[in-house]
């Protein structure tokens, strides 16, 4: 299988040619998809209708899969496979969650610009998000997902800024990202289970050497700096990196599968009509080492 791409946003997002991702692919086909992701860290496949098992099996070809914070909790879950993240507003019985539902409020952290799981010591690489059910348009948004190009954002910084931030280390904490939207009601024990992690602020692509900003709503401050100074720098960099010129907005169709590389992009969900189901399923591949162990 060869992958042809049609650019959706320069150097950031592309739509891949027709492919059937439900059946096992050859090594060559997986390598072709990986090559496309390296060129376009947001890659869109249309017209896929995958079961959770098929999404799991396809994603697992790119690396070991994460079990996310929500799936790791004890208790009943809507989805059977722990490696499939439930990116929906539905409860265990497929009912739309109440506005004050704790899990819903926790997941609203996805509306802030972020890269996934940067609060983990070994963070994640690819996100694969598959649209199963979508809400109608709402007054505040249509449930789109936006992606920002952290390589282009890094390149666009003044040279002295790049030089100054290259060696910096940021502390990432999931409780900080949730605190920003006023959510502090974590299940008992979760704070201890997910302590903050330190990550490089600037990461380098192992193959191309290209540098990228590694920002996230989880990033709380800069190690060794007063918290206020670090937080203000992170706010400045995030405002810079999420300017419209760096952003691709994905308008979902049922059956879309969007793959993104969390190392070179940030993303955020947009609001939607909360009275209607929005059901996406996500698989996520794990990195192999902490970002601090990557060569600078």
85 vs 71: CA distance, rounded Å: 7
221/267 with CB nearer ligand OGA:
267
- Of 41, 127, 196, 230, which one interacts with ligand OGA (CB under 6 A)? 127
Say whether residue 282 binds ligand OGA (CB under 6 A): yes
Contact of residue 219 among Mn ion, ligand OGA, none (CB under 5-8 Å per partner type): none
Say whether residue 196 binds ligand OGA (CB under 6 A): no
Q: Give the start-end residues of each E strand in the chain.
A: 5-9, 13-16, 42-45, 85-88, 124-133, 145-149, 169-172, 197-200, 202-204, 211-213, 219-222, 247-250, 257-261, 265-269, 279-286
Stretch near Mn ion under the rule CB under 5 A, chosen from 96-104, 115-123, 219-227, 251-259: 115-123
Say whether residue 276 binds ligand OGA (CB under 6 A): no
Smallest distance from ligand OGA to CB 89, Å: 10
Exposed, middle or buried: residue 46 (CB in 10 Å: 0-12, 13-18, 19+)? middle
197 vs 117: CA distance, rounded Å: 10
Exposed, middle or buried: residue 186 (CB in 10 Å: 0-12, 13-18, 19+)? middle
- Of 15, 66, 116, 146, which one interacts with Mn ion (CB under 5 A)? 116
Contact of residue 269 among Mn ion, ligand OGA, none (CB under 5-8 Å per partner type): ligand OGA
Site track for ligand OGA across 60-89, x = CB under 6 A: ---------------------------x--
271 vs 181: CA distance, rounded Å: 14
Say whether residue 104 binds ligand OGA (CB under 6 A): no
- Of 16, 43, 222, 280, which one interacts with ligand OGA (CB under 6 A)? 280
66/116 with CB nearer Mn ion:
116
Q: How far is CA 269 from CA 67, 94, 97, 287, in A?
A: 20, 20, 17, 23
Stretch near Mn ion under the rule CB under 5 A, chosen from 74-82, 112-120, 150-158, 197-205: 112-120
List, as one string, the DSSP characters of 17-55: PP--TTSPPPHHHHHHHHHHHHH-SEEEE-S----HHHH
116/287 with CB nearer Mn ion:
116
- Of 216, 267, 279, 285, which one interacts with ligand OGA (CB under 6 A)? 267
211/282 with CB nearer Mn ion:
282
42/87 with CB nearer ligand OGA:
87
Q: How far is CA 179 from CA 73, 76, 107, 220, 236, in A?
A: 20, 26, 12, 10, 19
Q: Under the rule (CB under 5 A), what is the footprint of Mn ion?
A: 116
Binding site for ligand OGA (CB under 6 A): 87, 110, 116, 127, 129, 145, 267, 269, 280, 282
């Amino acid at each position: 299988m060869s992958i042809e791409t049609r650019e959706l946003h320069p150097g950031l997002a592309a739509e891949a040619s027709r492919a059937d991702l439900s059946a096992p692919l050859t090594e060559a086909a997986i390598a072709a998809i990986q090559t496309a992701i390296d060129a376009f860290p947001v890659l869109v496949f249309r017209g896929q209708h995958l079961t959770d098992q098929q999404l799991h099996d396809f994603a697992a070809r790119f690396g070991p899969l994460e079990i996310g914070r929500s799936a790791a909790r004890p208790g009943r879950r809507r989805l059977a496979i722990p490696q499939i993240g439930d990116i929906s507003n539905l409860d265990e019985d497929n009912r739309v969650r109440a506005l004050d539902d704790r899990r819903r409020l926790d997941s609203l952290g996805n509306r802030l610009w972020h890269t996934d799981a940067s609060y983990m010591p070994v963070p994640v690489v690819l996100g694969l998000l598959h649209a199963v059910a979508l809400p109608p348009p709402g007054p505040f948004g249509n449930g789109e997902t936006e992606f920002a190009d952290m390589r282009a954002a890094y390149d666009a910084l003044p040279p002295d800024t790049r030089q100054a931030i290259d060696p910096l280390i940021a502390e990432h904490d999931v409780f900080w990202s949730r605190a920003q939207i006023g959510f502090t009601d974590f299940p008992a024990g979760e704070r201890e289970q997910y302590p903050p992690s330190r990550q490089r602020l600037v990461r380098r692509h192992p193959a191309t050497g290209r540098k990228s900003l590694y920002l996230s709503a989880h990033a709380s401050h800069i190690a060794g700096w007063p918290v206020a100074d670090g937080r203000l720098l992170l706010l400045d960099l995030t405002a810079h990196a999420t300017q419209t010129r760096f952003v691709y907005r994905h308008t979902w169709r049922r059956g879309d599968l969007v793959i993104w590389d969390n190392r070179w992009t940030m993303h955020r969900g947009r609001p939607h009509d909360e009275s209607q189901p929005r059901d996406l399923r996500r698989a996520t591949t794990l990195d192999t080492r902490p970002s601090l162990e990557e060569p600078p």
